[in-house]
Chain A
Amino acid sequence: MAILEVDGLKVYFHTRNGVVKAVDDVSFSVDSGETLAIVGESGSGKSVTCYSLLDLLPKPPAKIEGGTALFNGKDLLTCTADEMRHHRCNDIAVIFQDPMTSLNPFLTIGEQLIEPLIYHPDKSKIETRSRAKEKAVKLLDEVGIIDPHTRFNCYPHEFSGGMRQRVMIAMALITEPKLLICDEPTTALDVTIQAQILELIKKLQETRNVAVIFISHDLGVVAGIADKIIVMCEGTIRETGDTDAVFYHSSNDYTKKLLDAIPEGAKVLPNRVTSNEPLVEVSNLKTFFKNESGKNDDDRYIKAVNNVSLTIPRGEILGLVGESGSGKSTLGRSILQLAPTTQGSVKFEGKTLTGLSSSELFPWRRKMQMIFQDPYASLNPRMTVFETLSEPLLYHKLATKKTIASQIKQLMDDVGLSQGQLKKYPHEFSGGQRQRIAIGRAIATKPEFIIADEPVSALDVTIQAQILDLILDLVERHNLTMMFISHDLSVVRYICDRVVIMQHGVVVEEGDTEMLWANPQQLYTKDLLAAIPLADPISERSRIAEA
């Protein structure tokens, strides 16, 4: 029997610039013990749909314009604030995306866990502290927190991201809800942690027989755990169906587009010039940061990059893979001399860059550029596109006042933006367009070497595919050499010739992409490769079952 039945839900945002139909006529139902995945790109209305059920939207600007949401026969949309509080306390729980910000840093996790039990709105259900603690410790154990009795009294900052998300899950389950809403619970996590959390959610759902609504932008993530899938776009449902039907027999154009955008296999570039001449040589590079709180000699420094050597031949796309904290971004910045190196050397075209002063480095800056992860932070919000793109050209004296306009138009063409947008500011662009501007800035000086630091991980999957193709196109046309830093192995496989795997500041394994995929040597590499979520429900299910 359906535990939640949503029918004709409409949520509009009344903004200064008119009405935005965030959710427009959405209907679905969830049975108990079933997992429903809502998949869509950013702005598709998937989160708004779920938040409106729990009255978590800011009103105004949001307004529920119509529809019903029957939870066990009672309408969630018209209930009073008190009734809603009961629902939140007893029946419905939410797990949010970012475990770093969804826990209060000033309270121990234990205190936060037992909060709903000792402050329950229903007086008869209030439990004593000791009983609540007993329950909480048991649950912490169940979600895989080791030594739950001690950990109960720890503060959130003493946990890693994955552990915090486990705590969040325990927090959601402590009231024994009948419906669990997971809003991108694994998006902020590393791939191996993501796999563990997905398994945990699946396991808990089965043992506790709760209904789960799983919101995600990533079809690969939901493939293994969803029973039913809703594909949303621009506030409307594009497709509803069983997981297998959506993945294998979809006839919907938008679903197909989403599935096609998932990078698969390797892309071949026929017209690329590669040579064996090394362009970048890194030998025994160490980048340490001072750690003031370190007590003994060993932890006086944070060894972000510890004795890394690698060579990038001209024309190659080298993938640098690692989980958060592995030192991959620091390595990239050290190569470009943006982070102070402690020891070792970086050579570019045979010239040692380490130890050069900033004015000595200046002529080399033109030849090596960087593309950053977050297109919302990498552009100065107070500069127009024209100014952003003209800065590198003028600064390196590559353009004069006469030629600059035509050079910038050429750049805009290169990155696929129209020239009418030159006078706009960054906030007027979408994430994908901003990343195009950032790429335009990086290639403006006609560099030979580009470090791309997670350039697509903040983007939607369809946009990601476009940006990847743009990067490949530019590499081919301008004979670029590239270091591509990413945590996403499918993306790396798609565009990189060779891969270096990093963990805790050291290189664990390196090799040609396809060789590495086919025959990983190190345990860590095997774990990483095994954790990649595939957009293939059958193999995903069998993997979760094995685990």
Chain B
Amino acid sequence: MNSIETDKGSSLWKDAWIKLSKNRLALVGLGLLVILIVTSLLTPLIAPYGYEAQNLDMGATAPSLQHWLGTDIFGRDMLTRIMYGGRVSLMVGFIATAVALVIGILWGATAGFFGGRLDAIMMRIVDVLYALPFMIFIILLMVVFGRNILLLFFAIGAVEWLTMARIVRSQVMALRNQEFVEAASSLGLSQWTIIRRHIIPNTLGPVIVYTTLTIPSVMLLEAFLSFLGLGIQPPQSSWGLLINYGVETMEEYPWLLIFPGLALSLTLFALNFLGDGLRDALDPRTSKD
């Protein structure tokens, strides 16, 4: 009912942006990510071949002028497949992590802030979900809702939020007895406003670091599920799947492993640089210069 939004209200974020724009490494990471995202958005327009276009005469050729990154054993262009794979992998990475972030932060912040019995119940739920074998959980979801790529994202997100919730909860528990939180409640701020304005911004450091770790692990999880036939299916591809196939033929056709591996590593580097930059930028204690 009482919201506080002023033109100067966003100055933590504004200052963060100024600081981020001075951090060269973070900008490189951001630039790389933007390039990757734009490329995968435009893939259907700019990809040199169709992702399922086979050319059995050209099976497993090394990189050449015709196929910059070589072809796989069916003669499909690797560059094309990596570009299409990036669409799936980046989408999984970002959507599943976003799901994990939202659920994890809200769940953890609520449990940590209110404490007591609510906290006990909420965290026991987390424990039960932790104990539930991940595979069974996913298979159950797939059985109930049918196989659907969006559902896959949510399923992965719904598993990854558990750790996030624990991290946020422990942060919040340390914060909730701080005097500035008490000062806010003596001003009459509602508990939701306190969580939103005073608690969550102060948990951002560890959350960002954990997020940059979650995105790659989610991408690999998708590969694992796809490998078991629960994720996306050939002829569609993802980086994780390409790497999986690449490993099998590593000795004969190393480019089938190297290039998708490079694409994944590049993304991880970019994410880590950006994540570190963001963490520093969002901490007012690091200097602006």
CB of A441 within 8 A of CB of B188, answer no
CB of B187 within 8 A of CB of A395, answer yes
CB of B188 within 8 A of CB of A384, answer no
Q: What mask results when residues 351 to 389 of chain A are scored 1 for a CB within 8 Å of chain B, else 0?
A: 000000010011001101110111001111111101100
Q: List 13 A-B contacts (CB under 8 A).
A: A336-B186, A358-B191, A366-B188, A370-B182, A374-B179, A378-B179, A382-B12, A382-B201, A386-B11, A387-B8, A394-B6, A401-B6, A425-B284
Q: Least Cβ distance of A545 to chain B in Å?
A: 42
Interface hits, A419-464 → B, CB 8 Å: 423, 425, 427, 438, 441, 445
Q: A372-B183, A377-B179, A395-B189 are in contact. List 7 more A-B contacts (CB 8 A).
A: A358-B190, A362-B188, A365-B187, A366-B188, A369-B187, A373-B179, A378-B180
Chain A residues contacting B11 (CB-CB under 8 Å) are 384, 386-387, 423
Check: A392 CB closer than 8 A to any chain B CB: yes
Chain A residues contacting B9 (CB-CB under 8 Å) are 387
Q: Least Cβ distance of B16 to chain A in Å?
A: 10
CB of A395 within 8 A of CB of B180, answer no
Contact partner of B179 among A361, A372, A384, A425, CB < 8 A? A372
Q: Least Cβ distance of A314 to chain B in Å?
A: 20
Interface hits, B171-192 → A, CB 8 Å: 178-180, 182-191
Q: Given A365-B188, A382-B12, A438 and B4 touching (CB < 8 A)?
A: no
Q: Given A361-B188, A391-B4, A338 and B284 touching (CB < 8 A)?
A: no
Cα distance A374–B188 in the bound complex, in angstroms: 20
CB of A338 within 8 A of CB of B185, answer yes
- Of all chain B residues, the one with the shortest Cβ separation from A390 is B6
- Of all chain B residues, the one with the shortest Cβ separation from A372 is B179
Q: Least Cβ distance of B159 to chain A in Å?
A: 30
Interface hits, B244-289 → A, CB 8 Å: 282-285
Chain B residues contacting A394 (CB-CB under 8 Å) are 4, 6
Cα distance A378–B178 in the bound complex, in angstroms: 7
Check: A20 CB closer than 8 A to any chain B CB: no
CB of B179 within 8 A of CB of A369, answer no
Q: Given A387-B8, A404-B6, A438 and B183 touching (CB < 8 A)?
A: yes
Chain A residues contacting B7 (CB-CB under 8 Å) are 401
CB of B179 within 8 A of CB of A391, answer no
Q: Given A382-B284, A387-B8, A395-B4, A338 and B190 touching (CB < 8 A)?
A: no
Cα distance A370–B179 in the bound complex, in angstroms: 10
Q: Least Cβ distance of B131 to chain A in Å?
A: 26
Check: A478 CB closer than 8 A to any chain B CB: no
CB of A370 within 8 A of CB of B183, answer yes
Chain B residues contacting A361 (CB-CB under 8 Å) are 188
Check: B198 CB closer than 8 A to any chain A CB: yes
CB of A382 within 8 A of CB of B187, answer no
Cα distance A74–B89 in the bound complex, in angstroms: 68
Check: A396 CB closer than 8 A to any chain B CB: yes
CB of B187 within 8 A of CB of A391, answer yes
Cα distance A51–B186 in the bound complex, in angstroms: 41
Check: B170 CB closer than 8 A to any chain A CB: no
Q: Least Cβ distance of A313 to chain B in Å?
A: 22
Interface centre among A361, A392, A395, A396, by most B CB within 10 Å? A395
Chain A residues contacting B185 (CB-CB under 8 Å) are 338
Interface centre among A382, A392, A397, by most B CB within 10 Å? A382
Q: What mask results when residues 187 to 213 of chain B are scored 1 for a CB within 8 Å of chain A, else 0?
A: 111110100011001100000000000
CB of B179 within 8 A of CB of A396, answer no
Chain B residues contacting A395 (CB-CB under 8 Å) are 2, 4, 187-189, 193
